[in-house]
Amino acid sequence: MQSITVTAPGRINLIGEHTDYNNGFVLPAAIQMAATATITKRADDEIHLTANDLNDSLIIDSIANLRINEKQWANYIIGVIVQFVKKRKFPTGFDIRISSNVPIGAGLSSSAAIECAIAFGLNELFEFGIDKMELALIAQKAEHDFAGVQCGIMDQFASMFGRKNKVMLLDCQNREYRYFPFERGDYQIVLLDTGIKHSLAISEYNVRKAACEKGIELIQEKYPAIESLRNVTIAILNECVDDHLEEYNKCKYVIEEIERTQAATADLESNNLIAFGQKMFATHAGLSKLYEVSCPELDFLVSAVEGNENVIGARMMGGGFGGCTINLVKSDAVNEFIEQLTVHYHTHTGKQLTPYIVSIEEGAHIL
């Protein structure tokens, strides 16, 4: 039977955190860690799913019998298939074998990698002709409906559209995007995984989203034309939300982060990684103090590298409450950096630190 093997990567986000669902800007990049799917047409109407890494499988007896399953890993796949069924008719069933080396819970969008691999692979195998942006939206909707996370488009966009050695400035309001070269020069991108899985991330993510929406409601009492924080200034925030501290702090962070992200692209164009790195530190301060999605372990790692002459930027990355910090580290100091932080982190927390050196690679493609 006809078969195809595709891969879709996880992602890092250099700057622009928690701005995507506020119609702001993000600056992600695809990485070398990825999900790989082999999809094979069947002669019948069944769907057979296999998770190689988990040594687990699931048989769905008919394409017409798709629903949320107790096997959480399967829902990322089923959710994508359901979105396709709404748009196209599958002529046959199919087998899917999925594997991934994107760490789970590290903030590298392991779920988006799986969703995008499935979406990209089904589109190619069945020649549906759906463009990449629509595939990213299909993957995002699967995350909403089957994983219960009301995420923005960034993760799936980065997995679909990544280019080697380039970051992408995505305007989440109109989905326009531009590529910028990431000339890292003498620096490496090093992720430090706290080992803390963000168990609070789903519920607290939705709480933060609701706080931003409440802020907009308060602003609309005076400025009804404003639809998102993308169009809010600090002056407007002060005028309309000053008496609501929770919403004020969350909105203030987002407004400042949208400005930072746009300014950061100018740093890349002038190849000023020092200035870019300083914005990363500022982002972490906002995420920790205003948006309150950090945790003691993440704060410790960022504080530990501030003032280190070999580190020009660091912040927590991803949804929060665990996962990784992302660091820009001088290449010849990376080994020492990792060794020192591993010891300090274990001494301070009793936990094991897991480092990842990442490279910026291509988005979803056929293998």
Please report, in angstroms and rounded to a whole number, the separation of the first and last CA atoms in the chain.
18
Query: In this structure, are residues 232 and 251 in contact, taking their beta carbons and an 8 Å threshold?
Result: yes
Kindly compute the dihedral angle of the four CA atoms of residues 200, 216, 227, 220, in this order, to the nearest 10 degrees. 160
pLDDT per position as a tens digit, 18-69: 998 899 999 999 999 999 999 999 999 999 999 999 999 999 999 988 988 8
> Is 164 among the domain residues?
yes
As a whole number, mean pLDDT of residues 227-240 equals 96
CA atoms within 13 A on the CB side of 264: 33
Indicate the range of 187-191, 194-198, 208-212, 224-228 predicted with least confidence. 194-198
pLDDT per position as a tens digit, 236-269: 999 999 999 999 999 999 999 999 999 999 999 9
Query: In this structure, are residues 110 and 116 in contact, taking their beta carbons and an 8 Å threshold?
Result: no
Query: In this structure, are residues 31 and 12 in contact, taking their beta carbons and an 8 Å threshold?
Result: yes
| pLDDT (0 to 100) of residue 199 | 59
Burial class for 129, CB neighbours closer than 10 Å (0-12, 13-18, 19+) = exposed
> Is 69 among the domain residues?
yes
> Is 176 among the domain residues?
yes
318 vs 73, which has greater pLDDT?
Answer: 73
91: domain range?
3-182
As a whole number, mean pLDDT of residues 182-203 equals 84
| pLDDT (0 to 100) of residue 2 | 95
Catalytic status, residue 155: yes
> Is 173 among the domain residues?
yes
Task: Give CA–CA dist 212/248, Å, rounded.
Answer: 9
> Is 206 among the domain residues?
no
Question: Of 217, 34, 182, which is closest to residue 120 (Cα–Cα)?
Answer: 34
> Looking at residue 178, which CATH number applies to its domain?
3.30.230.10
Indicate the range of 99-108, 187-196, 273-282, 346-355 predicted with least confidence. 99-108
User: How much of the chain, in percent, has pLDDT values that exceed 90?
Assistant: 86
> Is 286 among the domain residues?
no
- What's the pLDDT band for 201 if we cut at 50, 70, 90? low
CA 306 to chain centre: 25
Q: 200 pLDDT exceeds 60?
A: no
Query: In this structure, are residues 328 and 277 in contact, taking their beta carbons and an 8 Å threshold?
Result: yes
| pTM for this entry | 0.90
| pLDDT (0 to 100) of residue 198 | 62
Give residue 219's identity as a one-letter amino acid code. I
pLDDT per position as a tens digit, 103-112: 887 778 899 9
Strand partners, 324: 193, 317
Query: In this structure, are residues 36 and 100 in contact, taking their beta carbons and an 8 Å threshold?
Result: yes
CA 156 to chain centre: 7
> Is 76 among the domain residues?
yes
Place of tokens 């195809």: 4
Strand partners, 366: 6
Structure tokens at 254: 């987002």
pLDDT per position as a tens digit, 138-188: 999 998 887 777 777 889 999 999 999 999 999 999 999 999 999 888 999
Which of 20, 155, 193, 267 is labelled catalytic?
A: 155
> Is 319 among the domain residues?
no
Number of domains observed in the structure of the chain: 1
| pLDDT (0 to 100) of residue 103 | 85
User: How much of the chain, in percent, has pLDDT values that exceed 70?
Assistant: 99
pLDDT per position as a tens digit, 328-343: 999 999 999 999 999 9
As a whole number, mean pLDDT of residues 340-367 equals 96
